[in-house]
């Protein structure tokens, strides 16, 4: 009988532990969900800056080529891309000083850091080694951008943000067929409508949130 009591007591304790674990997991999940709703508003400046930077690079290449000013356009990106990374790192540091990091915020940063590194490798290492043709860079970048937006939209549960991925993927498909100089203009337009303008929307919401809190 004593053995039976011990077994029942042990079983009861295990059930209590399982219930406590389940409750802790639910609390953690709820915390993550609540955090996701405020993570994306911190990223507007990066979207805008990178959007403008790439538009400048694409339009410079497009205009130089149409004007007959031929040189190694690769050097335009050698200047612009490091500027973008420096700004992103600076912006992250400033945001950490103003806002405590959240789990969802870390996920967003990881997604975009991975996307940025992937596109930098595709845009620099690939052409230098001769394994990726210059005209293939933009469509590959579009596919990566679409994936980053799709995942970001799911993390923060913002439908319109995730839907931007379809614009990028469609743009990537179009650029796979357009191998002329006009592909630079198309890429610039994609950066305007699916990167810069969304960044402005996010930044405005961020400013409104900060104003409401102050």
pLDDT given at position 6: 45
pLDDT given at position 7: 47
In Å, what is the CA distance from 174 to each residue of 101, 137, 168, 177?
Answer: 38, 13, 10, 5
- The answer to whether residues 127 and 137 touch, using CB atoms and an 8 Å cutoff, is yes
Q: How does the average pLDDT of the chain come out, rounded?
A: 86
- Which runs of E-coded beta strand occur in the chain? none
Q: At which residue do the structure tokens 């930044």 appear?
A: 203
Q: At which residue do the structure tokens 């100089």 appear?
A: 181
Q: What is the rounded (10 degree) CA torsion for 9, 13, 14, 15?
A: 100
What gap in Å lies between CA 196 and CA 48, rounded to an integer?
Answer: 5
pLDDT tens column, 74-104:
999 999 999 999 999 999 898 888 877 788 8
What gap in Å lies between CA 208 and CA 181, rounded to an integer?
Answer: 40
- The answer to whether residues 47 and 195 touch, using CB atoms and an 8 Å cutoff, is yes
What gap in Å lies between CA 101 and CA 49, rounded to an integer?
Answer: 22
Q: What is the pTM of this model?
A: 0.82
Sign of the four-CA dihedral 15, 16, 17, 19 = positive
pLDDT tens column, 31-62:
666 655 554 556 589 999 999 999 999 999 99
pLDDT tens column, 143-201:
999 999 999 999 888 899 999 999 999 999 999 999 999 999 999 999 999 999 999 99
pLDDT given at position 157: 87
Q: Is the pLDDT of residue 13 over 80?
A: no
């Amino acid at each position: 009988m004593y053995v039976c009591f011990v077994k029942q007591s042990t079983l009861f304790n295990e059930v209590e532990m399982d219930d406590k674990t389940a409750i802790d997991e639910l609390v953690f999940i709820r915390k993550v969900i609540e955090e996701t709703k405020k993570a994306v508003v911190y990223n507007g400046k990066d979207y805008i800056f990178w959007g403008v930077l790439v538009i400048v690079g694409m339009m410079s290449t497009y205009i130089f080529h149409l004007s007959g000013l031929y040189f190694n356009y690769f050097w335009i990106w050698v200047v612009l891309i490091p500027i973008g990374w420096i700004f992103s790192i600076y912006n992250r540091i400033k945001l950490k000083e103003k806002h405590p990091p959240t789990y969802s915020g870390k996920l967003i940063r990881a997604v975009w850091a991975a996307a940025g590194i992937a596109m930098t490798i595709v845009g620099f290492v690939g052409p230098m080694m001769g394994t990726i043709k210059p005209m293939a860079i933009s469509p590959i970048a579009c596919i990566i951008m679409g994936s980053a937006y799709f995942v970001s939209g799911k993390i923060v549960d913002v439908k319109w943000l995730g839907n931007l991925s379809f614009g990028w993927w469609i743009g990537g498909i179009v650029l796979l067929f357009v191998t002329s100089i006009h592909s630079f203009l198309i890429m610039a337009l994609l950066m305007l409508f699916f990167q810069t303008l969304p960044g402005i929307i996010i930044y405005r919401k961020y400013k409104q949130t900060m104003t409401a809190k102050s």
